[in-house]
A and B are shown apart, each in its own frame.
Chain A
């Protein structure tokens, strides 16, 4: 079967259970959001899927094969990529170099020591395409460290997309972005390739309701409920969690 298939996933740190018995599917074309209060285990879940953490129990399958024992780099090469909550870009490199690097790695040219890094016409064309897609053309030769935060988030998105992933996990794509620039992120997410499987982990409900077609609510490491944005907006438990609980 296509896509990502998670069954009975649990993660315990000593006596603390941060993920418990999670069943979760992500198919090509999906736009799912994972929401929940702080400490619900959202980041842990994404780290389990991407291979940064190893689960205590449960299985993770991708296109039908078990990927639970693969490390982060191996899963990226299979096509599971994520953006970071806090930007960890190559700050001292230019935007162009930030995009060139993942493409070189994707094309298995990272060990090349003959020829120039910018000497591959096809790769440079792809870099230009990405720059255009995210409206970063004017900033191409600026160092990432000199960009505004919203622009850095766009570079982050472009960089991850440069890997041509089939599953894309966006970990708080709008975190720290001033509300005046949030629309840049929303636009970029709406323009993602249609057949990409996208999971958005986000605090900003406004953004979630604009881009997600399915919402999964995580509370204390467990899935509380799952449904369309309309279902979730009408769900009494969720309203309690977000309104009654005084959160956000």
Chain B
């Protein structure tokens, strides 16, 4: 079937990268974790049109919850993912009760505030979170009791890849389901959604909560694989970078989120290795170029090029 082509291609790409860059597995795994985070942002912002700059709050909640759960309760990775998802979803729901009453700049500011508050709590509660030193001492059991985490990161890579695949499929199904259609409806015209009898507020909270759960999974993955949770998990930089990756790739499309993350992470990696002082310049130039020439993201490049070629032949279509 046609629709299975692109995801299969991405899977093959992941496997190729695994063998092509065997000494960079930690980096590749980091990309996979970011893909999950950016996918969660795509659901919230790309589909439902909820403009947030605080996705890190949900990611961090998942990371700390999964880390603490592994240390104090049970070090099973899959159970930890559920705990992370639960923590992210719970924080999204509770903060969403306030956030989803607002829109635009107010929402952006409040979402940043939520992440900052979480950061400060994690910083102050040293006894629980390790404060600025980070949460240490996470020792995971083997995945499904079969695959032990190794120091090269092979298990971590495959584990993260499996989680990405599951999250991707779940979101793909969700985007085709009635809920997905209604979220696009809210994005397009909240007034109209209210006029067809929908409580836009609760629908937005639902989207934000699901997005929070997925961001929590990303955080949990990070905690389990790197065996460390730092305050950076709640940082504004993380929220902003996730947003840039999504815009790079193209919002409202799952492939856009994946593509944007890949491009951003690789350019970042390559630029930072070549010029540790000016790499931000390269990222900035890349983002500017995409926003000017492909405002709908890299994912829109093929149709845009086709249109350009056609436009050349039939003037002005």
**Which residue numbers of A lie inside 8 Å of B, CB to CB?**
50, 72-74, 76-77, 81-82, 84, 88-93, 97, 100-102, 104-106, 109-117, 159-160, 163
Contact = CB atoms under 8 A, between A and B. Distances in A.
B189 A89 contact: yes
Contacts of B199: 73
B206 interface: yes
A54 B182 CA distance: 27
B289 interface: no
B178 A110 contact: yes
B197 A104 contact: no
A106 B185 contact: no
A93 B176 CA distance: 13
Given A101-B185, A104-B178, A115-B177, A110 B192 contact: no
Contacts of A111: 178-179, 182, 203, 206
A25 B195 CA distance: 22
B130 interface: no
A101 B196 contact: yes
B174 interface: yes
A113 B174 contact: yes
B198 interface: yes
A102 B185 CA distance: 10
Nearest to A76: B197
B179 A110 contact: yes
A93 B196 contact: no
A77 B178 contact: no
Contacts of B178: 104, 109-113, 115, 117
A92 B252 CA distance: 12
Contacts of B189: 88-91
A110 B191 contact: no
Contacts of A81: 195-196
B142 interface: no
Contacts of B196: 76, 81, 101-102, 105-106, 159, 163
B180 interface: yes
A105 B184 CA distance: 14
8 contacts: A73-B198, A84-B195, A88-B192, A101-B181, A102-B196, A102-B197, A110-B198, A116-B177
A110 B182 contact: yes
A90 B194 CA distance: 13
Contacts of A72: 194-195
Given A104-B181, A117-B177, A92 B197 contact: no
A146 to B, nearest CB: 13
Contacts of B177: 112-117
B133 interface: no
Interface string B160-195: 000000000000011011111110110011011011
Contacts of B182: 101, 104-105, 110-111
Contacts of B185: 90, 93, 101
B188 A91 contact: yes
Given A73-B200, A90-B192, 5 more contacts: A101-B185, A102-B196, A112-B177, A113-B177, A114-B173
Nearest to A79: B197
Nearest to A83: B195
Nearest to A92: B188
B191 A93 contact: no
Given A90-B188, A113-B179, A106 B197 contact: yes
A206 to B, nearest CB: 27
Contacts of B179: 110-113
Interface in B195-236: 195-200, 203, 206
A165 to B, nearest CB: 10
A122 to B, nearest CB: 14
A88 B194 CA distance: 11
Contacts of A116: 176-177
A228 to B, nearest CB: 31
Contacts of A159: 192, 196
Given A88-B189, A117-B178, A93 B184 contact: yes
A101 B182 CA distance: 7
Interface in B126-156: none
A117 B176 CA distance: 6
A127 to B, nearest CB: 12
Interface centre among A81, A100, A113, A163 (most CB of B within 10 A): A113
Given A89-B192, A90-B188, A93-B188, A163 B176 contact: no
